[in-house]
Structure 1
Amino acid sequence: MIRTVAVVLVEDCAVFEFGVLCEVFGINRTDEGVPAFEFRVCGERPGAPLPTGVGAQIVPTHGLEAVAGADLVAVPAARVRDDYPAAVLEALRQAHRDGAILLSVCSGAFLLGAAGLLDGRPCTTHWRHVHELAERCPTARLDPDVLFVDDGDLVTSAGTAAGIDACLHLVRREVGSAAATAIARRMVVPPQRDGGQRQFIEQPLPPDADSLQPLLDEVVSELGAEHTIDSLARRAHLSQRTFARRFVAETGTTPHRWLTTQRVLLARRLLEQTSLGVDAIAAECGFGSAALLRHHFRKAVGVSPADYRRSFCAA
């Protein structure tokens, strides 16, 4: 059970991600049945302001010695850099050796990676940082599609609001559902979200598809029509084999997968911006049936069209 929480800060830490940790673990909600957590804000130099990059400063009240004995050690997002303070990395390693649960929010995973704590472990981070973290931690088992990864004593979350999901998950796991629900109600957020960060990732047309770009633009403007490799190859004045080979070389994917992705992207926009029913959206996007739309949408985005609309519809 979590009783003591130590938040480890470095320069240029992200205010929102730090605030998430404060909101979930730093506020006394015993009047709502939530056990009180001992909350320690730790840094190399207690009492010395840390810049945040947004015109504000955060002052750690504890030194790194206060990390010792904490049940949960949390690292909020911070500017990604080549070198992190050696004392901070050693404090994280020692906390791991002592059996603490380690939690990172967004790019906080880079500190855990620099400390060697992601080696061989399943983890995640913000989708924009996945490739860089994979280069720095080649043995880490990165999953770019999820909101958070729970690997027992290591919990890593994706970008920004996904930190809320990871924190509430930890409260639910370690303290109970009633406490997690009470905190979520006060924060006015769902106690548990479905899906992953795939639903937040923009997937534009591949930038390297120069020679096929005019054809791709035409196809995107007429996604409701039927398209096959044969029909696309004819329009490109290529044989099917040459067209398929060039398409993969220039876009990194097959014509079928690319077309499905573009249709899902259109479905996302229609779900966000219109009141069209799922059947009408399926026809508009070229899926043919609502069942086929639901299948491909859930596979690509991680949630159903109805759930996506509830979360993202502008109306």
Structure 2
Amino acid sequence: MEKQTGIRLYILIVYAMVGLLSCNQSGRSQNQIKDKNMEWNKLTPEEERVIVHKGTERPFTGEYVNSKDSGTYVCKRCNAPLYRSEDKFDSHCGWPSFDDEIPGAVKRVPDADGMRTEIICANCGAHLGHVFTGEGFTSKDTRHCVNSISMKFVPAAMGSVAVAAKASQDKDSLQKAYFASGCFWGTEYYFMKAKGVVSTAVGFMGGHVDNPSYRQVCQKNTGHLETTEVVFNPKETSYENLVKLFFETHDFTQTNGQGPDIGPQYLSCIFYSSPEQKEIAEKYIQILKDKGYKVATMLKPATTFWKAEDYHQQYYEHKGTTPYCHVYRKIFD
């Protein structure tokens, strides 16, 4: 299976370099979203140049480059909350920088040349800037480089802070779940389509190496499992529903990997974040055993989630295909 892993790596490299992840995807999404959402704010010609036509404002000229006020940054075009002031940091790059976004607010779309990853408003498709990883500015090792002109700032002290307050409340009510079920491309494919899921990301968990690369994990000596982070709204779905989807979309009886992907990084595991999550996972493992299944799924406490390289994120959505080792099959009533 070493050969298979090598082939997978080769496909990824070619995929990134030739730019199969076209930015035309984001343009199509903008038109679709506009049809079903509220009217957008009217833009000036300069705002349209950046937000619609994906331009870039000159460095160190933006309104929010040096801003340190407390509040929330929202989309200039649709007012959707994007970033919180506490996630802003000074990278000295000439544009506002954030090491995290409000869950589900920002979508990543690799550029056509495969060299950079664009970030757009998940609600309306407005161009925000680009995202970079591996620079070491903060512990999250991520830098959202955003055009000031793409945002509006809502100060925490203003009476109109309702937008920011709602964003904070929404964020506080969201929960996270972590699942490993083989190739994380396929795991994410099903969870990102599930009702009540706000956002997903793929990465690594459970190992002894900080911030591992995909290449390192493929060497099978870091202890990590390919893992999908699922951010969900408990008002729209439940952790129980996610656990059922986890079991219904992979072979939880396989002990050496998943489908054709063989190796320790492909094992089946639920990383629980609370005693309640552990209890629910144990409940469904027992249900499966009662049905006669030999469950190989492990249960482990969640540790640090290390996000994988950008070209892994939402892989099948951008590629336009379906998983090769994950198939949905109904198990639970």
TM-score, structure 1 normalization? 0.30
Please say which structure displays the higher CA radius of gyration: 1
Q: Counting strand residues as a fraction of each chain, which structure ranks higher?
A: 2
Q: Counting helix residues as a fraction of each chain, which structure ranks higher?
A: 1
Structure showing greater relative contact order (alpha-carbon pairs closer than 8 Å, 6 or more residues apart):
2
TM-score, structure 2 normalization? 0.29
